Amino acid sequence: MNKTKLFLFFLLAVFQFSMAQNNKELKEWANQGQTKETDFFAEIPFHYVDHYIILDIEQNDKTYQFMFDTGAEASVIDPAVLEEFETISEGNADVFGPVINNGKVNYVSIKNIVIGGIHFENTGAIGMDMGFSEKVFAEKLDGIIGSSLIKKAVWQIDYKNKLLRVANNIDKFEIDENTEKINMHLKESGWGTENVALTIEDEEFQFAFDTGNGRRKFVANPEDLKKVLRNHKKSRLELNLKDQPTDYRFIANTVKIGDMILENQVIDAENEVGTSKLIGNRFLEDYLVTVDFKNHHLFLKKNRSTPNDEIAQFELIFKPNYQSKKLEVYKAEKDFNKKHKIEKGAVVQSINEKDLSGLTKEALLNFWQNEWLSLQKQNSLDLVLSQNGKKVNLKIHKIDINS
């Protein structure tokens, strides 16, 4: 296989291959493979970590952690772990992206990988250092189970019970009258991620079905959503940092997917996603999700009642960086930032006199998963930030945005 360029965008856990070169070879490589078993059904427990699906995969009496990601066009395995599998080298590619080290990766075919007792044979994958995943998940992931493997079977995602079910045929699952059947569409390339039609108010889009998006329910680039954004000029949240492009959050009056019409849904318009438009786990987790890739059908059955979305958040948005062991400022409300000029890289030193400097990775994880949930219920917070070597004292307040 000749050299091909690959773009990996992991911030929302989705990666896409450039279609510029050798699409025929990429299609053959991504679509190859099958299951050893012809008649099967299995249940696989998963960990649900910050709205991401993480699987334990056994290989050579060792346990490895892989993300289950329908938005990844192929599986990814860290080179250290790849050595545990029998593979066939298919060539190499150049890889680049905002959160990884640019360089070359290997295309391979994995002769056998076992998930839930099912043998997936000769599926395409790339070998790439997964070190960048530690920043998001606190622990380095060993790989990603992507579309090149997932499409060899029918899957059901039971978020409520944290179970994946996998079968050879859609008939192994009970699809009743309370289940919504939605058509999916494969891209012109003939492989990779599948899209569903999503109508936001009166404008229709194609959004990727992406279980690797744990950050947002629905997210797309502001340029793609500019018409809808104009309709919400007085009812949207504008977010940026100094010298950074502006992102937006708003509540769409209606979102239609299949025959379902959902009211008051939060939509995120973020520059970081590039040209991607993604449906993620924060939407899907309200449903029992069954996916029949062979026939391009997505089935959704409501598993819990949910209130209409609201936007009630602080003037600053944070996220933990488990590599640096710091709580970072991710975004700021535009008018607040115009006044205080918060820059990318600003670090939270304390919240309400709770010292967050010098934390271990485990302490940061515990703060984010426990204490932060309680702090979010308050209407204001007292902060000390560190920016350009200087400490800044701030009070932030909660903002409420109505549809």
**In this predicted model, what pLDDT tens digit does every residue of 343-379 receive, in sequence order?**
988 999 999 999 999 999 999 999 999 999 999 999 9
What per-residue confidence (pLDDT) applies to 102? 54
Q: Which residues pair with 9 in a beta bridge?
A: 14
Q: 111-128 burial by CB neighbour count: b if 16+ within 10 A, else e? A: eebebbebebeebbbbbb
pLDDT at 19 over 70: no
As a whole number of angstroms, the distance between CA 248 and CA 244 comes to 13
Give every CB contact of residue 264 below 8 A, 6+ residues apart in sequence: 251, 252, 253, 308, 309, 310, 403
Sheet holding 34-35, edge to edge: 34-35, 118-121, 113-115
Q: What is the mean pLDDT of residues 258-276?
A: 94
Q: Minimum mean pLDDT among 205-214, 306-315, 338-347: which range?
A: 306-315
Q: 129-165 burial by CB neighbour count: b if 16+ within 10 A, else e? A: bbebbebbbbebbbbbbbbbbbbbbbbbbbbeeeebb
Q: What is the chain's Cα-based Rg?
A: 22
**In this predicted model, what pLDDT tens digit does every residue of 115-126 receive, in sequence order?**
999 999 999 998
| Residue 104 pLDDT level (bands cut at 50, 70, 90) | low
**In this predicted model, what pLDDT tens digit does every residue of 273-330 receive, in sequence order?**
988 999 999 999 999 999 999 999 999 999 988 778 888 899 999 999 999 999 999 9
pLDDT at 185 over 80: yes
With beta carbons less than 8 A apart as the criterion, state whether 384 and 396 touch: no
- pLDDT over 70 for what percent of the chain? 91
What per-residue confidence (pLDDT) applies to 100? 52
Q: Is the domain 4-172 a CATH 2.102.10.10 member?
A: no
**CATH annotation of 192-282:** 2.40.70.10
Q: Which residue has the higher pLDDT, 42 or 92?
A: 42
Q: Which residue has the higher pLDDT, 187 or 335?
A: 335
As a whole number of angstroms, the distance between CA 69 and CA 59 comes to 20
Average pLDDT, the chain: 89
Q: What is the mean pLDDT of residues 330-344?
A: 94
What per-residue confidence (pLDDT) applies to 94? 62
What per-residue confidence (pLDDT) applies to 101? 55
With beta carbons less than 8 A apart as the criterion, state whether 387 and 316 touch: no
Q: Where are the domains of the chain?
A: 4-172, 192-282, 311-401
Q: Which residues pair with 295 in a beta bridge?
A: none
| Residue 403 pLDDT level (bands cut at 50, 70, 90) | very low
pLDDT at 132 over 50: yes
Q: What is the mean pLDDT of residues 383-397?
A: 95
pLDDT at 248 over 80: yes
| Residue 95 pLDDT level (bands cut at 50, 70, 90) | low
Q: What is the mean pLDDT of residues 35-57?
A: 96
What per-residue confidence (pLDDT) applies to 2? 39
Asked if domains 4-172 and 311-401 share a fold, the reply is no
Neighbours of 78 (CB within 10 A): 20
What per-residue confidence (pLDDT) applies to 189? 78
Domain 311-401: which CATH number of 3.40.462.10, 2.30.42.10, 3.30.420.40, 2.30.30.30: 2.30.42.10
